[in-house]
């Protein structure tokens, strides 16, 4: 255990300059010399190592074998790595182990045989090797096909999943061009992808078709990325390929099923919405666009209802929400509103009744907006009641478009609301514009701005004789430039009919003498209008209605006569709220046959409630 000899002094400078830990031992395994790298690597001071057995630096589980290996080396001295083919470990002073590489060199000195051991910590390299091995195992066991290729398209790597997918073995694929995996008509695609990779671009989830060795076409999802040299130059590419044929088939089946369901739903909705009748003298244009999301079914509806006596009901509504439930509610409300309108109810009365209908449907949180207008052609008036619906617009030729004044009422279904209406005189030839929120409530836009844009669009189209069909198309193209992302949309344009050819009216007391007085007024009017062909029937029917009003109603009684180019309409108004109904009179009764005569002789007739009472009317063709 003495101090360093002459041999130690000879090598000291060389050892201190060595990059590895250098440990020199004698033939007994005693440490004779170490360098500073040894102290740093093993954590010992130099004086704690010199003179101690080298097994101090060897983990305990290897010490017995180490002594045997050292003895064997003494018999076969040569420069070689220690423990070739074995994993070697060093032991630090703190008891931790680490993988090492050891190179042994015999040194013949005057002091005897010494052995120099160069010890290198290979922890980082071992960890890297483990990561590489793990990655290789992961790549090889991947369920996705993984392959590598050069920039000219030659395959350089091919995992087991690639063989299963494409049916080529690695021996058959390696070195061949990747174009063998593409259908003949996709050669340009391969060229374009290689060019993108050459430019350093990564291509993610590119869906395309590939072909197997047996010629089967596969839907695949391909992700490609360039591989680079240490200096950053692109030298090749890797690809992960996933078979998505099952997914594509499932998507195709789902698409087909979705289209079938959408067709059924839209057919159902159109059936529930119905087709409004064409009304003579009333120019209209309508558009309905299903929602572009989901099944496309919504709760929009509109209706045109001929009310007789030159009056037309115009109705538009929107059940909030989407789907079959909204469509079912819409169908029920459309049927109810149509039937109620045919009874002659005023707009506010119809809304009051519909509010009850919505409540009776017992659909949780169901709100409905609705707007009902009655157009009176002879007076040029529109009576409107809106239940939370978007404002109706009126476009007047030469004056532009504006909002039609209407009281603000709550939507249907709120309950406890007294609905109000408003009557407004509108210019002949004006066009009423009704719509649902799908037209103006689009993603990323403000609904007020969209309504303003709608008014501006109508301003530009308010010509003397607008083509309503062209106006409807232009409005949709302007407000919905994108085909996707909108709710169901309803747009209805209704142009007020021209004024009747002539009108006349008078007021009579509720007295018996009013019947002959009314007939006389009618005779003078019809003579002036040259309507002799219908004079007799008109006098008879007026007599019956006036007689009922005198006997059963309160005065004064209003008599109004209106002529168009096709019809003659007579209206009798009184202040009694009781609506007359036809009935079968007994043989000995002298009354009860008036309305039966009206129903038999008139081309059309009806009774409608008014704020003051009611109006009974009939029409005859002229």
pLDDT (0 to 100) of residue 222: 93
Residues 298-320 have a mean pLDDT of 88
H or E segment and range at residue 567: strand 567-574
**DSSP-based helix, strand, coil % in the chain, nearest 5:** 35, 30, 30
Q: What pLDDT score was predicted for residue 465? A: 67
Cβ burial of 211 (10 Å; 0-12, 13-18, 19+) is middle
pLDDT at position 295, please?
53
Question: From the centroid of its chain, how far is CA 176?
Answer: 45
Greater confidence, 602 or 377? Answer: 602
Tokens of 175: 């070195």
Give the model's pLDDT for residue 466.
77
Region of residue 323 (phi > 0: left; psi between -120 and 50: alpha; otherwise: beta): left
**Residue 324 clears pLDDT 90, i.e. is over it:** no
**pLDDT reported for residue 442:** 75
pLDDT above 70 as % of the chain: 86
Per-residue pLDDT, 1: 40
What is the per-residue pLDDT across 50-102, written as a single tens digit (0 to 9) for each?
999 988 998 888 777 776 666 666 556 665 565 555 678 999 999 999 999 88
Question: Could you say which DSSP state residue 413 is in?
Answer: T
Q: What's the CA gap between 303 and 300, in Å, rounded?
A: 11
Looking at residue 486, its pLDDT comes to 61
Region 469-476 average pLDDT: 90
Task: Give the pLDDT of residue 377.
Answer: 79
Q: pLDDT digits over 241-270, tens only?
A: 999 998 899 988 888 887 776 677 667 766
Tell me what the mean pLDDT of segment 182-202 comes to. 91
Averaged pLDDT for residues 439-467: 81
pLDDT score at 223 = 92
pLDDT in tens, 379-438: 789 999 999 999 999 998 888 899 999 998 999 988 788 999 999 998 888 899 999 988
The CA distance from 522 to 506, in Å, is 10
pLDDT at 588: 46
pLDDT number for residue 214: 92
pLDDT of residue 443 exceeding 70: yes
For the stretch 557-575, pLDDT in tens is: 999 999 988 889 999 999 9
Q: Which of the listed ranges 105-109, 225-229, 531-535, 557-561 does the model predict with the highest average pLDDT? A: 557-561
Please determine, for residue 280, whether its predicted confidence score (pLDDT) is greater than 80. Answer: no
User: Above 60 in pLDDT, residue 185?
Assistant: yes
| Lowest mean pLDDT across 109-113, 327-331, 332-336, 446-450 | 109-113
pLDDT band at 363 (very low <50, low <70, confident <90, very high): low
Separation between Cα atoms, residue 39 and residue 46, nearest integer Å: 6
Cβ atoms of 386 and 315 closer than 8 Å: no
User: Which of the pair, 302 or 62, is modelled with greater confidence?
Assistant: 302
pLDDT of amino acid 425: 92
pLDDT surpassing 90 at residue 44: yes
φ, ψ for residue 43, nearest 5 deg: 85, 5
Q: Percent of the chain, pLDDT > 90?
A: 38
Between 10 and 62, name the one with better pLDDT.
62
H or E element that contains 157 = strand 155-158
Give the model confidence (pLDDT) of 559-617 as tens digits.
999 998 888 999 999 998 887 766 554 444 445 567 788 888 999 998 988 888 899 99
Q: What is the pLDDT of residue 589?
A: 45
Which has more confidence, 552 or 422?
422
Residue 326 is predicted with a pLDDT of 78
pLDDT digits (tens, 9 = 90+) for 484-508: 656 778 899 998 876 777 889 999 9
504: burial class by Cβ within 10 Å (0-12, 13-18, 19+)? middle
pTM of the model: 0.60
Q: Among 67-71, 128-132, 185-189, 449-453, where is mean pLDDT lowest?
A: 67-71
Asked if 583 and 592 count as a contact pair (C-beta separation under 8 A), the reply is yes
Q: What is the pLDDT of residue 66?
A: 72
Report the range of poorest mean pLDDT among 87-91, 164-168, 363-367. 363-367
How high is the pLDDT of residue 29?
Answer: 85
Q: Given this model, what pLDDT does residue 483 score?
A: 62
Average confidence score pLDDT of the chain: 84
pLDDT at 2: 44
CA distance 360 to 363: 8
Q: In this structure, are strands 311-322 and 80-81 parallel, antiparallel, or unpaired?
A: unpaired
Give the distance, in angstroms, between the CA of residue 287 and the centroid of all CA atoms in the same chain.
21
């Amino acid at each position: 255990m003495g101090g360093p000899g002459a041999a130690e002094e000879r090598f000291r400078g060389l050892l201190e300059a060595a990059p590895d830990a250098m440990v020199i031992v004698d033939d007994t395994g005693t440490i004779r010399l170490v360098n500073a790298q040894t102290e740093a690597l093993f954590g010992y001071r130099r004086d704690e190592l010199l003179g101690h057995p080298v097994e101090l630096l060897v983990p305990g589980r290897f010490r017995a074998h180490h002594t045997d290996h050292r003895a064997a080396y003494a018999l076969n001295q040569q420069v070689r790595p220690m423990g070739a083919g074995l994993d070697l470990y060093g032991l630090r002073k703190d008891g931790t182990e680490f993988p090492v590489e050891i190179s042994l060199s015999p040194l013949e000195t005057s002091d005897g045989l010494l052995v120099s051991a160069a010890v290198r910590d290979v922890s980082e390299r071992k960890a890297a090797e483990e990561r590489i091995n793990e990655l290789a195992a992961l790549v090889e066991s991947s369920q996705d096909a993984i392959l590598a290729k050069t920039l000219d398209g030659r395959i350089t790597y091919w995992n087991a999943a690639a063989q299963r997918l494409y049916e080529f073995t690695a021996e058959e694929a390696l070195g061949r061009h990747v174009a063998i995996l593409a259908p003949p008509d996709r050669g340009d695609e391969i060229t374009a992808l290689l060019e993108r990779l050459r430019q350093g671009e990564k291509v993610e989830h590119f869906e395309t078709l590939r072909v197997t060795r047996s010629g089967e076409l596969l839907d695949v999802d391909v992700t490609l990325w360039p591989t680079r040299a240490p200096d950053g130059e692109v030298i090749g590419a890797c690809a992960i390929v996933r078979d998505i044929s099952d997914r594509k088939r499932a998507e195709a089946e789902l698409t087909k099923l979705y289209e079938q369901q959408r067709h059924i739903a839209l057919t159902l909705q159109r059936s529930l919405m119905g087709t409004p009748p064409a009304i003579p003298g009333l120019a209209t244009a309508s558009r309905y666009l299903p929602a572009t999301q989901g099944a496309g079914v919504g709760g929009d509806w509109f209706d045109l209802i001929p009310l007789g006596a030159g009056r037309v009901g115009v109705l538009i509504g929107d059940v909030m929400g989407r789907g079959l439930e909204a469509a079912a509610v819409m169908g029920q409300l459309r049927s109810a509103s149509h039937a109620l309108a045919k009874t002659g109810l005023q707009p506010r009365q119809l809304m009051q009744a519909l509010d009850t209908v919505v409540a009776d449907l017992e659909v949780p949180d169901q709100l409905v907006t609705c707007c009902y207008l009655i157009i009176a052609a002879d007076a040029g008036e529109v009576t409107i009641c809106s239940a939370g619906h978007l404002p109706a617009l009126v476009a007047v030729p030469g004056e532009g478009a504006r909002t039609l004044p209407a009281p603000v009422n709550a939507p249907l279904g709120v309950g406890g609301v007294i609905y109000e209406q408003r009557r407004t005189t509108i210019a002949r030839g004006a066009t009423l514009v009704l719509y649902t929120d799908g037209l103006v409530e689009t993603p990323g836009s403000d609904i007020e701005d969209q309504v303003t844009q709608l008014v501006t669009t109508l301003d530009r189209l308010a010509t003397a004789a607008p083509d309503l069909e062209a106006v409807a198309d232009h409005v949709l193209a302007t407000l919905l430039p994108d085909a996707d992302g909108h709710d169901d949309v309803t747009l209805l344009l209704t142009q007020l009919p021209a004024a009747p050819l002539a009108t006349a009216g008078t007021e009579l007391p509720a007295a018996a003498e009013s019947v002959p007085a009314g007939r006389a007024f009618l005779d003078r009017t019809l003579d002036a209008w040259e309507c002799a062909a219908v004079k007799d029937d008109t006098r008879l029917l007026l007599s019956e209605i006036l007689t009922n009003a005198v006997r059963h109603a309160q005065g004064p009684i209003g008599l109004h006569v209106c002529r168009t180019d096709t019809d003659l309409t007579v209206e009798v108004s009184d202040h009694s709220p009781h609506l007359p109904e036809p009935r079968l009179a007994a043989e000995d009764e002298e009354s009860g046959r008036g309305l039966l005569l009206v129903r038999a002789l008139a081309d059309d007739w009806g009774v409608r409630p008014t704020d003051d009472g009611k109006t009974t009317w009939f029409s005859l063709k002229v």
